[in-house]
Every structure is written in structure tokens, then in C-alpha cells.
A = this chain, B = another copy of it.
Amino acid sequence: MKQRPFTANKNAISRLAKEIKQADVSPLILVHGGGSFGHPMAKQYRINEGYKDTSQILGLAKTHQAMTMLNRLVVDSLIENNLPAMAVPPFSCIVTKYGRIESFDEKPLARMIELQLLPVLYGDAVLDWKVGFAILSGDQLISFLATRLEAERVIIGADVDGLCTADPKTDSSARRIAHLTLGELKKLQQKIGEPRVTDVTGGMVGKIQELIPAVEKGIPVIVVNASKRNNIYKALKGEEVAGTIIERA
């Protein structure tokens, strides 16, 4: 849902907050992406290339600040719906090494879960031991947290109906794949080739790639279309929902 910079679909945020409140599952950790907030600033200052010159340092601050703007809208909406949401900026607790999470202090997060708070994290510009700074995707973060905290399952809210045989936004022959094993997912990836470049499924296989380590640990990953009403509610409740389930076997 990339649009003009700093535009957010507040109605969608509010509806999803209500669905999460209604589902009433605990413990729960939320991770959101950058939307139209983080990307333009990150691109302008070439944050993904790591530290090249001093002007990027101010750019890094601006990129993170843009991400906190979106995060604030999300957390405000959750609190308005009486959910005890707490922002946990990845920047302040994670350091990567060549873009992969290297150090993370899980103690505050673990304590939040014990107290039934609702931690909210997001894709963010973070510090890196080797290249100065890096973009940490929400997908990498989800996979890392799910594995580290031994999640029961992962629900990915997408703007398509799950993994499809082709890009459903441009190809009318695209059909949703309801169930995938790890083996089938890997075959699909080989068929597709380099993800993010030629991904015929509209980027979903590339996105899912980050989640393979979680699936390998036995954590099912469920992809649903969050832009359709009640899908997130149903997925949280463990109810049947038209999406894609990826399981180890």
C-alpha cells in the first residue's frame, strides 16, 4: 500500500485495531511495516546502503522519526480501543550485523508479555555493527521474534488473498494456494527464481522467504488479506479464513 509520503489509511488502522480488540488473544505481538512513511526518507538518504557519508546521520534520524509517526497512529488507535499497546522501537533495542539481527535484549519484551501488554514493533532503520546502519524489515523481525519467543503461530496481514500461482493484481488466472508445506514452498521458489526480481506471485514468495526459519522451527505462518473485513479477526481466533497456510509438513 505504498502511496504518497506520509499518508496512512486511518480507517483501515482503526478497523484492524477493533478486530484485534474483539479477538482478545494474549499473548500477542504486533509488527507493522513502513507504509508510505519510512520508505521515501530511507531512499533519499540511501539508508539501505549503510554508512557512506556524514549527511546520512541526520537522514537516519529523519527516517526513524518518520517511522515513529506511523507507529504512533497505530498505537494511538489500539489504545483508543482499550488495548494496552506499547511501542517498542527496534532502533532502540536491536543492532544488526550486515543487516541481520545480531543483538537484541528480549528482557523488556518478555516482561511486557508477562504483564499482558501488547508490544508493537515495526520495520525500522537500525544500527549495524559493520555497516553503520541498515534497514530491518518487518518480515525479518517477525521471523526472529517468533523463533526467539517460540510463537504458537504467525499471521501475516497482506493486501492479497495469500500466496497465489501468479500475481493476482495483474493476472486474472492467478489462483490462491490454500496450503503449502515447506518443501512445496521451496520448490515454488526454485521455479520462480530470484525473488524480488522476477517474483510472479507479486512479491509474496520473496516476503515469505524471511519467514522460512520460523516455519522450519514448526511455527505455522498464515497469510491473509487484511484489507478484507474480519480476516484478521478470524485468523487471530483460529477460525477458517481464505488465505495461505505454510507449515513444516
Residue positions of A touching B, CB distance < 8 A = 51, 54, 57-58, 60-62, 64-65, 68, 72, 75-76, 79, 82-89, 91-95, 103, 105, 107-108, 111-112, 115-118, 127, 129, 132-133
Contact = CB atoms under 8 A, between A and B. Distances in A.
A51 B129 CA distance: 38
A108 B127 contact: yes
Contacts of A117: 57, 60-61
A84 B112 contact: no
Given A57-B115, A57-B116, A86 B105 contact: no
B62 A79 contact: yes
Contacts of A76: 65
Contact of A107 (B103, B112, B132): B103
A95 B62 CA distance: 28
Contact of A105 (B64, B68, B87, B103): B103
A71 to B, nearest CB: 9
8 interchain residue pairs of minimum CB distance: A105-B105, A61-B84, A111-B127, A88-B92, A57-B84, A58-B84, A103-B107, A92-B92
Given A93-B92, A127-B112, A132-B115, A79 B58 contact: yes
Contacts of A57: 84, 115-117
Nearest to A125: B86
Contacts of A95: 107-108, 111
A92 B108 contact: yes
Nearest to A121: B92
Contact of A127 (B51, B91, B115, B127): B115
20 contacts: A51-B115, A57-B84, A58-B84, A60-B84, A60-B86, A60-B115, A60-B117, A61-B79, A61-B85, A61-B117, A61-B118, A88-B89, A88-B92, A89-B89, A92-B93, A95-B107, A95-B108, A103-B107, A105-B107, A111-B127
Given A60-B86, A112-B127, 13 more contacts: A60-B117, A65-B87, A72-B72, A87-B89, A88-B89, A88-B92, A89-B89, A93-B105, A105-B107, A108-B127, A111-B127, A111-B129, A115-B133
